[in-house]
Chain A
Amino acid sequence: MVPSRGLPSGSRPTGVSVGPAWSEAPCPILVVDRNGGIVEVNEAARTLLSGTAGGDRPSWHLPDWLADAHRCVTGGPSTTCAPTRSGRIGERMFEAFPTPHPDGDVVWWLIDDTDRRLAEETLRRAQERAAVLAGVSGTLLSSLSVQTCVEAAARLAVHHLADAAVLISPASPAGSDRFPVTFARAGGPVTGTTRTVDPATVPGLAEALQGLPSVPACWIDPGEVPAWVIPQGFEGPVGSVVVTPLPGHGVPDGALILLRSVGRRAFAEDEEAFAGLFAARVGAALSSVRVYGEQSRVTALLMRELLPPALGTVHGVEYAGRFRPFQDSERIGGDFYDVHPGADPAEETLVVLGDVAGKGLDAAVLTGRVRNSLHALRPLAHDHGHVLGLLNTALLTSPHERFVTLALASVLRRRAGRVRLRLTSAGHPPPLVLRADGRVEESGTYGDLLGAMPSVSFRTEELVLAPGETCLLYTDGITEARGGPVGGELYGVERLARDLTGRAGMPAEAVVERVHMLAAQWLGRGRHDDMAVVAIGAPRTGPLAVVDGDGHADRRGGADPHVGEDVRSPNTHWRQKRTRRT
């Protein structure tokens, strides 16, 4: 504080000329001498300074910030110039503008900018909060796992709102008193647990979990917050608390408890409101994530029936299949395949590859019916024509206006690694055979498509695969791929056959990959139909399949040096078995 020369009684002669305009000016004006003494004030300044000093005989002082600014202007020794010429007087904020006078006095004009500053501060905070809220949804929805979403919400709450955050998820199972609880605190880890909670014991929690409006923070006594709510490592004690509901899609999606320690400012009203907005975002995101999770679980369950099956070796014959839907975001479509293993090696295995006209889910639903029908008709598979005739009748009487084309193969392993096939095409491209000498043959089967005509007929062809030879069933999506180096050209069966020439001896899996790769490379970025391929391979060497067969169960643990002794023993056991074989 600068010593004052007391209250000026009114005007006294100074170097500054004073007129009525000066004394009645709306902004406070002070004349200060070179020593910092107040020489003269106008009415506005008198009112301002009297108000701050209080009482009838206020002692007038320059506020520190103005005294600093004054020294700076008068250039007194050992002064450092404060960069700002603004500060608080009483409740208001002022900016000060000096007019130095030759005699050493300085006239200070004080401009009240309290409202502007408030407005700026409010705007800044609003912008900051809008940015926070905009980021919240993005961050929360980037992972569609409920757990990750809850953890991120707790972390964000601590970052933007509080010293600690506790997120109470809806009771699980619903209606019980077991609640998943997630804790986060500044500078600490996010931890989760499930515990028994009596909402009535936490002030405001029962209301929040029912989705009722939050209890104002000032009504909550921090002392009533039970100890379990306070995360470990919280720099206590708790100074203020906000409990806010997480509004979900129509139903509450839990509650968020925000804690600030005694050392920090209590939650102001606008911060509570902001916490509410934040909680609304969190609740919406959590609900979306929950719905997504539930839907994808249901979809996965329903799709399991429609997805193409995993194939492998059955009764000494290799099978491999691969499906690529017309859109890569899909998993199912109008193409399908199945391998129905014979009850024993002496019984034929039935292979089906088919194509329902159309794409996507609609077509996939019909493939499900066709697959089920064929599964039921399996016992009759010794006569392909009979099976296909029955299927045709079934399709004609169904409400669908779609037709189906398919290829059937009945497979039986014979002596010396040879495999006998009976092939029947129902309006489907005839299967190809990759012969051991490198040639690619087209099988001679043909027949009518199913589901469109009252009577249908077929020609079944029988052929034998020698070891290393492969029979390839494919849908027209492969041969009708349009692309090539100059684009727009059909891939075609001739090109497929040419590209497969000399590829005998490849395992079924490799043939299937190869065909898909050829078609994909031909397509480039072009659009395509569903594509499905099944390969039936007569294994080139017998013993490997046997190795596969007995190796799987015992080989876990491998020969890794880091594996403990307990799991090493079965490995040794396996290796003895294998040594016997060799």
Chain B
Amino acid sequence: MTDTGKTAADLRDRLWSAVLGGDAYTATDTLYQGLDIGLDTETLLLDVIGAVQEKVGTEWAADRITVAQEHAATAVNERVVTALVPSSPVPADTGWGPSRGRVTVACVEGEWHAFPARLVAEVLALRGWQVDYLGAQTPGPHLITHLRRTGADAVLLSSSLPTRLPTAHAMIAACQAAGVPVMVGGRAFGPDGRYARACGADRWAANAREAATALEGGLTAATPSPGSTTARQPVDDLPHLADQEYTMVVKSRTRLVEETLAGLREEVPALRLYTDVQHERTAEDHAHIVDFLAAALYVDDTALFTGFIGWTADVLEARSVSPRCLVPGLHLLARRLHDFPRATALLHAGAATVAARPGTGPGNTA
């Protein structure tokens, strides 16, 4: 195991430099060497390629690689996976036995980061499942049609962005109403999968191996009694939605962003010197803040919002921008939403997160 671990680490380093250079040839060869020294495909997929892909994300956030490098690396990783795994379904006569069952792997609508889902799909296929991989951004109606057509035993939904949680929730309910149990995974569902439960998923898996193990243990829908229908409304799972705060924030998203920007232009003189592109980025940042605020209201979880604010602060700091620039926007939003106690509390918690960072404490704020 330590040998495997050491070898995998070595391969990871070599793959990392290959993907950074956009060198698909060397990258693929690195993986083939892994096969030659006896590592299995699953290990290569998850402990080498998957690990490198994760590093791509963290290194970008830390501004140690450029956006162009990030894209090149992702693209090369995609090709490496294609080169490593069978392109057609594993034949039924593998060591795993004739039929493990048929599952569908898809990304939540609006989710474009398909790579983790693809790794899950490949691992399941390797382990003998018949896998339909629908890729990034699967519209709900297509997913349901597909499930009905193929008679899938289970569906695995992936999402990396918590802002997609309301959509994920609707898709989970729709799959379950179609009689198919749902397993979810990806960063959107929280580090411990807590939002998976909030959204009514039948199962959460932390990673590809856990997903495979869970499927092997038999994934069944959580609705036992015959005659009961599983169709339900979001508010049945999330009673706090009745306070309309989520609805209000989503409905007035555009206005909230506009008003915040207008407020910033008044309060932060430096903003008036921004270029068009800088203005657009500022607008995008605040649109993101509102989107994450909505997501946090949806699942009623402060950590979702403060986690995002913390991450944004990291990203800004890595690019030599003071995270304090987030605070005025948060205060403006809080003032604007003063009638909504949950939203206001979240925004204050977000501002506190920034203030609590070393070097950005109250002593340093203007």
Task: Enumerate chain A interface residues (CB-CB to B < 8 A).
Answer: 132, 135-136, 138-139, 142-145, 147-148, 152, 155-156, 159-160, 296, 300, 328-329, 331, 438, 484-488, 498, 502-503, 505-507, 509-510, 513-514, 516-517, 520, 524, 540-541, 543-544, 547-548, 551-552, 555-564, 566-567, 575, 578-579, 582
Contacts and interface: CB of A to CB of B under 8 A. Distances in A.
Contacts of B287: 485-486, 524
A525 B90 CA distance: 39
A148 B112 contact: no
A328 B140 contact: yes
A540 B142 CA distance: 34
Interface stretch (B25-33, B204-212, B318-326): B25-33
A144 B90 CA distance: 28
Given A328-B141, A485-B257, A520-B137, A564 B94 contact: yes
B303 interface: no
Given A159-B227, A540-B24, 13 more contacts: A135-B229, A138-B229, A139-B228, A152-B226, A296-B145, A485-B287, A486-B257, A506-B71, A520-B112, A556-B90, A560-B127, A562-B127, A582-B32
A544 B79 contact: yes
Interface of B: 22-25, 28-29, 32, 35-36, 39-42, 66-68, 71-72, 74-75, 78-79, 82-88, 90-91, 93-96, 109-110, 112, 114, 126-128, 136-137, 139-142, 145, 148-149, 151, 177-179, 226-231, 253-254, 257-258, 261, 277, 280, 283-284, 286-287
A487 B257 CA distance: 9
Nearest to A486: B258
B303 to A, nearest CB: 25
B32 A487 contact: no
A560 B36 contact: no
Contacts of B261: 486
A331 B22 contact: no
A136 B283 contact: no
A93 B163 CA distance: 64
A555 B87 contact: yes
Contact of A507 (B75, B88, B93): B75
Contact of B41 (A498, A516, A544, A560): A560
Closest 5 CB pairs of A and B: A485-B283, A328-B139, A138-B229, A487-B254, A135-B227
A53 to B, nearest CB: 47
A21 B151 CA distance: 75
A510 B75 contact: yes
B227 A132 contact: yes
Contacts of B179: 142-143, 148
13 contacts: A135-B227, A143-B148, A145-B151, A148-B179, A156-B227, A503-B71, A506-B75, A509-B75, A509-B78, A510-B78, A513-B112, A524-B287, A558-B90
A412 to B, nearest CB: 23
A431 B22 CA distance: 25
A329 B68 CA distance: 33
Contacts, number: 173
A499 to B, nearest CB: 10
A54 to B, nearest CB: 46
A143 B142 contact: no
A516 B36 CA distance: 38
A138 B79 contact: no
Given A514-B71, A541-B24, A559-B41, A564 B95 contact: yes
A498 B276 CA distance: 13
B53 to A, nearest CB: 13
A117 B158 CA distance: 56
A556 B88 contact: yes
Contact of A503 (B68, B127, B142): B68
Given A135-B227, A505-B72, A144 B91 contact: no
B88 A552 contact: yes
Contact of B178 (A142, A484, A548): A142
Contact of B40 (A135, A300, A498, A561): A561
A579 B36 CA distance: 9
Contact of B231 (A138, A156, A579): A138
B28 A547 contact: yes
B226 A156 contact: yes
A562 B127 CA distance: 8
A143 B136 contact: no
Contacts of B151: 145, 147-148
A551 B83 contact: yes
B112 A517 contact: yes
A486 B142 CA distance: 30
A290 to B, nearest CB: 13
A486 to B, nearest CB: 5
A331 B83 contact: no
B154 to A, nearest CB: 14
A490 to B, nearest CB: 13
Given A486-B283, A560-B41, A507 B87 contact: no
Contacts of A486: 254, 257-258, 261, 283, 287
Contacts of B68: 438, 502-503, 505
